[in-house]
Amino acid sequence: MKTTKTALITILMLASLSIFANENSKKAEEESAKVEASATVTKSISGRVIDLNTGEPLAGVSVSIDGSTAVAFTDFDGNFVFNNVDVTSKTLSASFISYEKASVKISDSKNTVILSLKSAF
């Protein structure tokens, strides 16, 4: 009789644990689906900044993504890179001393951009 009660209690405990685990699994799947649905498209954006008149690369230009805190500076060859950029409706802007600011929209299909800065003088 004692073994029957112990066996019955054990079966009930295992059944309740199984039900509890199944409910937690369903909640985790639902949360995962929500996260995937709200995920944004990110990619790397690289480019080059040149002088509009001469075509020469510009070093030290500040390139930023409008609406974010991301900033990159061009190297000696005028190149810059942003990694893991949310490309949804974003604009790149470049500014440099004695040049007019230039901007270009980031598109989903374009990974490389060229920004041409016009001398302010």
Query: Residues with Cβ < 8 Å from 82, sequence gap 6 or more?
Result: 44, 45, 46, 63, 65, 70, 72
48 and 26 in one domain?
Answer: no
CA distance 56 to 96: 14
Nearest 5 degrees, angle CA 103-CA 109-CA 115? Answer: 25
pLDDT at 40 over 70: no
Residue range 88-113, pLDDT digits in tens:
768 899 999 999 999 998 876 678 89
Residue 86 structural domain: 42-117
**pLDDT-derived band at 121, boundaries 50, 70, 90:** confident
76 and 32 in one domain?
Answer: no
Q: How many domains does the chain have?
A: 2
Residue 93 near residue 70, CB atoms below 8 Å: no
54 and 31 in one domain?
Answer: no
60 and 12 in one domain?
Answer: no
12 and 56 in one domain?
Answer: no
Q: Find residue 4's DSSP bridge partners.
A: none
- Collapsing DSSP to helix, strand or coil, 58 comes out as coil
75 and 54 in one domain?
Answer: yes
47 and 25 in one domain?
Answer: no
Residue range 41-70, pLDDT digits in tens:
778 899 999 999 999 999 999 999 988 889
96 and 51 in one domain?
Answer: yes
What predicted TM-score, i.e. pTM, was given to this entire model? 0.65
78 and 93 in one domain?
Answer: yes
51 and 96 in one domain?
Answer: yes
111 and 62 in one domain?
Answer: yes
50 and 28 in one domain?
Answer: no
Q: Do β-strands 112-117 and 42-51 pair in parallel, antiparallel, or remain unpaired?
A: parallel
> Measured in whole angstroms, how far is the alpha carbon of residue 77 from the centre of its chain?
26
